[in-house]
Amino acid sequence: MIPLARPAFGPEEEAAVAEVLRSGWVAQGPTTARFEKEFAAEVGTKHAVATSSCTTALHLAVIAAGVGPGDEVVLPSFTFPATANAVIYAGATPVLVDVERASLNVDPDRVEEAITERTRALLGVHLFGAPCAIERLASLARENGLFLIEDAACAIGTRIGNRPAGSFGDVACFSLHARKVVTCGEGGLIVTDDDELADLLRSLRTHGVDRDAEVRHAKGAAPPAARYVRLGYNYRLSDVQAAIARIQLARLGEFVEERNRIARRYDAAFADLDGLRSPPAVETGTHSYQSYVAVVEREAPMEPDALRAALAARGVSTRVGTYAVHREPYFESLFGERSLPVTEEAARRSIALPMFNGMAEDDLETAVRAVREVWQKNPATH
């Protein structure tokens, strides 16, 4: 099978891990601190705080926003459930809204309609590496005195105009999961320009401690014992993971360029297939193509499930794009049934095709040929 995704690891990542293992410091420490500085420079923010995952980063971001019981956070329903879960972890209510048909990203008009006196924050998602209307969300946040969180889990390397994704919100959260452009298997980051927020986030990720690991364990120093000043969590990234992520981050430019080349090959190959809609191009900025997600339109010659099954039979892995969170059983049990038609259609009809760095030309051509053959063997009947 051609996999949906595969990490692009090589001897440099192996050597970086070996160096950390030899150092004797494998938990969060100096390598993580170096990675944080490098990541903040890449995104163009003052601070980056590494965490154990993007989910834990989102949880801390919601807490840092001051969100709690009785509050609401507005976010798109077409996203991975972790985005909404982070709000629930804080005891607040995720208000799930519909997305734009063309971009599959959150519809800012629906966000504006959903703002109430209970709204404390807006949460925009740059889905699949495509930038959402974050500038409009930033304006809504300013106009209504709301905290803005960017869920940039898929958006390392994404740019809006000349600005990196993650540089618009009060905080932004990134993922280092195995399917992401930059990965160390699992991990996350929160970025911010706010010094006080950064200090709070560092404390929250380490059990509520009053100072970070580098200060607590500085050589030749005898600082006072650490104090635990608030409820905190064990949401840290290890130096082993950070060592891998540092090498990956240094390759970000080449990774994004390669993914765009793969996306252009898909776009060209599917341009004449009526009913198969490729991801929209980014007019001013950069799509990082964490995933290549097409949409099987209603007028297509076959249904999405049939396409996925036919491609699997030809050795090509696929997945749904992502989920209509409001239709998942847990969320329906909390909030009841509701209709968000664009989200529901996107969840039914989106299909993620293989997209990863180091994808062999033969595998790319096999995936392209498989889609075209299946499509052409199922001519439209209307």
Catalytic site residue 46? no
243, 17 contact by CB (below 8 A)? yes
> How crowded is residue 277: how many other Cβ atoms within 10 Å of its Cβ?
18
Choice among 37, 46, 180, 377 that is catalytic? 180
* Strand extents, DSSP E, the chain: 47-51, 72-76, 78-79, 93-97, 119-125, 147-151, 159-160, 163-164, 171-175, 188-192, 276-277, 285-286, 292-296, 323-324, 350-353
Residue 349 in tokens: 């009809």
> How crowded is residue 303: how many other Cβ atoms within 10 Å of its Cβ?
14
Give, in order, the Cα–Cα distances in Å from 362 to each of 15, 309, 310.
29, 21, 19
* Strand extents, DSSP E, 254-354: 276-277, 285-286, 292-296, 323-324, 350-353
Catalytically active residues are: 180
